[in-house]
Amino acid sequence: MLHLRPRGTHWLPEPVRRVLTFWRRSIQARVVVSTVLLSVAVISVVGWYLLQQVQDGLLDHRVDAAIAEANDETAETRDRLEAVPGTEADVASQKADLVDPIIERGATRGFYVVLAGPAGPNGRIADGGVNSSPLLDTSSVPISLEEHFDEEAPTAWTYTTIRTTDAEGVTTSSRGIVVGAQVLLPADAQTYTLYYLFPLDEQEETMALVTRALLTAAVLLVVLVAGMTWLVTRQVVTPIRMARRVAERLAAGQLQERLRVSGEDDLARLATSFNQMASNLQRQIRQLEELSRVQRRFVSDVSHELRTPLTTVRMAGDVLHDARSDFDPTTARAAELLQTELDRFETLLVDLLEISRFDAGAAVLELDDINLVDVAHRIVDATRPLARSRNVEVVVQAPGHPCLAEADVRRVERVVRNLVTNAIDHTGTERAGGDIVVLVAGDDHAAAIAVRDYGIGLAPGEAAMVFNRFWRADPARARTTGGTGLGLSISLEDTHLHGGWLQAWGRPGEGAQFRLTLPRRAGAVLRHSPLPLVPTDVTEPVT
């Protein structure tokens, strides 16, 4: 149940992925966007609060004024009604007398009036018989307020929507306040309700103005914040990007690259430290290069100085060795020992010089397309005398087609020769298993040679140690075999030079297998080998 989620963002469409990549890579974009988001949030909250405050203030003020005006009108109306002689009994004309002056005043002062009643559940405005300002849609008085005045009640107010219909029949609606107050009509001794409707147009306009101003201010503020953040991050990010570019160039080997230092701020100090680091690195690399050059020179000199006398000794030894039949037995034996030890000394010297060349990084490849099948046959032919002397047979198992790799034929042959002679050495004369098999295989990406022997094998953990310098599987036995102890180390270095693999497998009593894998093209990265490391004839032990 692991790894069910797809790794990475391969499943996203291309533009989205590009945006995501930009987002991941650009500190500047992230800082600017998050700052803008945050300031938008803060500005929204502040703006909303401000608007609420202004609106509340405006409305409170307007409501106070409206109620005061309504009270004034009502009081004046009451006075007028009290002054009317008690004999007057025409309800309709009294209502008109009552309300007309108010309507007139309302028209000039900007409010509408409705006179409804008599109070009680049967005297709804909608039932008709009301006196009201012209053009006003009487349904602007909310039912809830009407119900409030079913009983006798003091002055009350509420918000409403005022609908008016002008002369052309166009209906407009606007927010407003409706204030209700009751008066007693002497004509029928009933209570009527006067509704004053005050439109809030002025306040609405003020609110719209305030809102527009606040919005403009908010947008400008956000743009300002974004711009400032962008500028500030740019000042920080630009030197960082420059440092990145310089670091990349340093890493690519252009050691003389430096950052430009201007000023004394943190970034300038960063640049100074960076430059110091680069200078130190450059100095140390120069030192190492110098050391390596000295080392190479030394190896070369030692090589020359040691080899010339060794050649003379070697030739003298040969002359003595050839003439040993003329000596007495002791001297003859001495000449023989001299000869064999000179051989050992020589191979050891050659191997040591080769290793120090690798250590100095002085080894270079001479690349060519080589066929590993040919290499295998050549090496097996060349090592046949040694194999015969050990009573071992070496066979090549190769496919019918060439197994090509771009490699240095001299080094590859040295590796394979080493593996084959090693296999012969470790098979020994008391072998039980069978012949040494040299397997060859290749495909479009890699070519491989594996050398399988059925000798004493390798103990667990030894497969990694066989490539160590002067490592010997069995110190007691080692001295009888010819190797210098450097052969596999050199082979490993040769293989690494090609970007290849050299690996060992072995099990006590079941023999060993060494596998060399080379990439088809020099420098290509190896991902697999055409041959298995563990031989196919081995059964895995049940663990």
Q: What does the binding site for other proteins look like in residue numbers (CB under 8 A)?
A: 300, 303-304, 307-312, 314-316, 318-319, 346, 349, 357, 362, 364, 366, 368-371, 374, 378, 382, 402, 404, 409-410, 413
Which amino acid makes up residue 124?
R
User: Shortest gap between Cβ of 235 and other proteins (angstroms)?
Assistant: 53
With respect to other proteins, which residue has the nearer C-beta, 179 or 398? 398
Question: If we measure between CA atoms, which residue out of 175, 119, 108, 109 comes closest to residue 147?
Answer: 119
With respect to other proteins, which residue has the nearer C-beta, 91 or 365? 365
User: Shortest gap between Cβ of 354 and other proteins (angstroms)?
Assistant: 9
Measured CA to CA, the distance from residue 272 to residue 243 in angstroms comes to 11
Q: What torsion, rounded to 10 degrees, do the Cα atoms 179, 185, 188, 190 define?
A: 40
- CA distance readout (Å), 64 to 70, 105, 144, 157, 421: 10, 19, 21, 10, 113
With respect to other proteins, which residue has the nearer C-beta, 116 or 372? 372
With respect to other proteins, which residue has the nearer C-beta, 270 or 310? 310
With respect to other proteins, which residue has the nearer C-beta, 379 or 450? 379
Question: If we measure between CA atoms, which residue out of 170, 162, 236 comes closest to residue 199?
Answer: 162
With respect to other proteins, which residue has the nearer C-beta, 165 or 308? 308
Residue 387 structure tokens: 């194999």
With respect to other proteins, which residue has the nearer C-beta, 278 or 448? 448
Measured CA to CA, the distance from residue 482 to residue 517 in angstroms comes to 26
User: Shortest gap between Cβ of 402 and other proteins (angstroms)?
Assistant: 8
Q: Going by DSSP bridges, is the β-strand pair 404-407/368-371 parallel, antiparallel, or unpaired?
A: antiparallel
User: Shortest gap between Cβ of 356 and other proteins (angstroms)?
Assistant: 12
User: Shortest gap between Cβ of 462 and other proteins (angstroms)?
Assistant: 31
Measured CA to CA, the distance from residue 458 to residue 455 in angstroms comes to 9
Q: Going by DSSP bridges, is the β-strand pair 501-507/446-453 parallel, antiparallel, or unpaired?
A: unpaired
User: Shortest gap between Cβ of 28 and other proteins (angstroms)?
Assistant: 51
User: Shortest gap between Cβ of 302 and other proteins (angstroms)?
Assistant: 10
251, with CB counted inside 10 A (0-12, 13-18, 19+), is exposed
Instruction: Give the sign of the dihedral formed by CA 174, CA 179, CA 182, CA 187.
Output: negative
